[in-house]
Amino acid sequence: MSSMTGRAPGRIRIIGGQLRNSRLDVPDLPGLRPTAERVRETLFNWLAPVISGARCLDLCAGTGALGIEALSRGAAGVQFVERDARAAQALRDNLARLKAQGGQVTTADAMAYLQGAPQPFGLVFLDPPFAQNLWQPLSQRLEQGGWLTPAACVYVESPRQAGLALPSTWMLHREGTAGEVGYALYRRAAAT
């Protein structure tokens, strides 16, 4: 993983499932911050009971490592949303090279994408660029816009001390830290 202000490494590894040990080419783009291997390993251990057959949304996909890891581990499909055209093309190239089935890449701003017609997802990866502070508006749009199934899981990655204001229906399931990064898995509960 690169620093929050540095550049991404040239390649990262898928750590589990059918594509285990496959390498993803990572474009050299400012601010691109792939999720660290040990964080992905922990996250997918948490998700083991729900990943098979899941419909996933990788919002602010970047390298697509989270979504490709989900496909590798049996997710039914992943919608990748990435606003940077170069990162989106690198993601398409990686999916094609790995012959990963079930991934669809949309080049769009995350908030603009969530203004479209909703398709409920059972698992969402929410890891926006740290400098843009998009957690609250994106999480509210996910919750209120019909983008989540009733029992959806949402993974959130942020600066360690961010103090995020997330929807009250998102119940913390598990959390951890890695260096200056905080990560957490939430489960959606019915609104009261």
Q: What is the CATH number of the domain that holds 47?
A: 3.40.50.150
Confidence of residue 4 (pLDDT cuts 50, 70, 90): very low
Q: What is the pLDDT of residues 81-124, one digit of tens each?
A: 999 999 999 999 999 999 999 999 999 999 999 999 999 999 99
Confidence of residue 3 (pLDDT cuts 50, 70, 90): very low
- Overall average pLDDT of the 127-138 stretch: 90
For the chain, the domain total comes to: 1
- 4 domain-assigned: no
What is the predicted pLDDT for the residue at 191? 54
> Using only C-alpha atoms, what is the Rg of the chain?
15
Q: What is the pLDDT of residues 146-160, one digit of tens each?
A: 999 999 999 999 998
- 141 domain-assigned: yes
Residue 10 has pLDDT above 80, yes or no: no
Query: Contact at 8 Å (CB) between 138 and 115?
Result: no
Cα separations in angstroms, 173 against 7, 55, 62, 185: 31, 19, 25, 6
What is the amino acid identity at position 65? A
User: What's the domain range around 70?
Assistant: 11-188
Confidence of residue 190 (pLDDT cuts 50, 70, 90): low
What is the predicted pLDDT for the residue at 12? 86
- Give kind and range of the element (H or E) at residue 188: strand 181-188
Question: Across all residues in the chain, what is the average pLDDT?
Answer: 90
- 58 domain-assigned: yes
- 131 domain-assigned: yes
Query: Contact at 8 Å (CB) between 184 and 174?
Result: yes
What is the predicted pLDDT for the residue at 29? 82
What is the predicted pLDDT for the residue at 42? 95
- 64 domain-assigned: yes
- Overall average pLDDT of the 55-69 stretch: 96
- 183 domain-assigned: yes
Q: What pTM does this model have? A: 0.91
- Overall average pLDDT of the 56-72 stretch: 96
- 5 domain-assigned: no
